[in-house]
Structure 1
Amino acid sequence: MTSKIDNPPPYEEALQVPKYGNYPHQPQHGSPLPPPPSYTPSPGMFPGPPGYWGQEGVYPRAGMWAAPGSSPTGLPTTIPTLSAGVPATNPGEMEDFLSTQWESTSIRHAFIRKVYLILAAQLAVTFSVVAVFAFVDPVRQFVIRYPGIYWASFVVYFVVYCILVCCKEPRRRFPWNFLLLGVFTLALSYMCGTISSYYDTKAIFIAMGITAVVCIAVTVFCFQTKVDFTSCGGFLCIAAVLLMIVGIVTAIVLSFQYVPWLHMLYAAIGAIVYTLFLVYNTQLLIGNRELAISPEEYVYGALSLYIDIVHIFLFILQISGAATE
């Protein structure tokens, strides 16, 4: 227990000027103790009304404020920011940041234009070859009579594709990148022309029209939607494996003339899967999603879109050819 004399003074008395200097009366027990050091907080530590801080004792001295609302004497008038350790942003830094953002956006737009120009040239060559193989009857008969050229073009297509995908230097260094891309385009164009030779001209035009509509719709969708398809790479890999399995089963079943509609089902699944791949690669090209293609990889960007569009055309050609027959 504590005696009544040891209790702290009431609140009203504490607000008054102390009677014993700067400190309340301390009872003396035995030898006198040295007075405690005076506590003077740093100026501006306890902001409040000027009249309240004018008391003596543990508070700052009176007269520290010249007028209500003014800053303490000798203190800077600037208010510190809340970002500890981070300098305040000045207009020059903000202009540098905006210029950097504008440069990155302009670089991405130039990259997209370059990719689509290359893609347009590739598609023009491919559909020109397909048109020649579809309308010129001697060429059609030559392709059907010598299938070995088709397999040779398939080997060239596969080898050049592996070089362009696996090796970065050939697809980044001029003129090797455009040379390999040209060889790849000619090989795949010959393959498309050979396959188109086995179908009617009406089916070829239907497939071309549907492919064009699908590609335009996918491009507009990718530039407008906020859905991120670049995070669905695992799902697309599973879809590609499923397509390969269905293709193997279809080849085995059709060799025994079982389930004739299975061929159209496989073509429909392939068209859907490569449409999803076209969405994925287009959003990689745009660059405002989770994943993006580097602006230096314009050859790879055009290559991926070109393969997707050609495969969509071939799968739709199988459906339209079976429908016209």
Structure 2
Amino acid sequence: MRSLLLVSAALLASCAAQAAEPPAFRLCTGSEAGHYFRAGHLLKSKASSVQLEVIPTQGSLDNLDKIVAGQCDGAFVQADALLVYSARNAQALSTLERAGVLYQEQAHLLCNRQAGIKRVVDLTKATTVAVGPDGSGGRTTWDAFVLADKTRYAPIQIDTRSGVRALSAVADGSQVQCMLWVGALNASFIKGDAQAQGDRIVLAGTDDRDMTTTAKDARGQPVYTYGEIPAGTYPRIQPAGLVYGTKALGTIAVDALFVTGLAWVTAHERAYDGLLRAFAAAKPQIQSLVQPQ
């Protein structure tokens, strides 16, 4: 009898321990060298209601694929990735919930100085733009531009090079004249790598204002807003001002979003409340990470 009581007590203790254990939450982010991955670890440091695993991935579209496939429970994605993804798998968006906004990212168009391109609307079918591989931030935004305005952007040639390799190709200018890079202001890639090529590369405006009205998500809401890169942000690659210094550049901006899978949310509503509180607590650190003062 005593043995039976001991076994029962052990089982009850085991069940209680299991009940108290927070559920797992797999967060898809991006490259281990990128802001999404680092932001994921900041969220993890604040999250106590879940056992959060930060998973590196190939980018926003890969993240959405993994949520739909049940390989991740949430992700950080560009807002325009939802637009591009809906064109491929519209029903999948009904399985996602927008949990919040991390920060805004800017579309940076870097061009060879000799190409004479001052704004994104100056691109022609004779221009080749490096946008990165499928699923990357630049490629996702470019695909969204094409979806919103096929007449203007579909004829332009694209190249899958990215990062420093794409910068080198733009600096040379013979095969690739521009590259599209999407990220927060003051990111190390632009402040460091791009400015190091400042004698041959210049920033062009991405202020195609039509994008703020024609590119809309599944709810009919604009995907992009109109913003600017302030004068002096990147002194070596911004166009010169009328009198001195550099001038501000108009840009298209897109939100970086935290999205979750509805299946996980429905199964763990109380833990999800805690995760949302953790996200709110981590957000100031995340924003200072991508926009250092």
Q: TM-score range by the shorter chain?
A: under 0.3
Compare the two structures and name the one with the higher helix fraction.
1
With normalisation by structure 1, the TM-score equals 0.19
Q: Kindly name which structure, 1 or 2, has the bigger radius of gyration based on alpha carbons.
A: 1
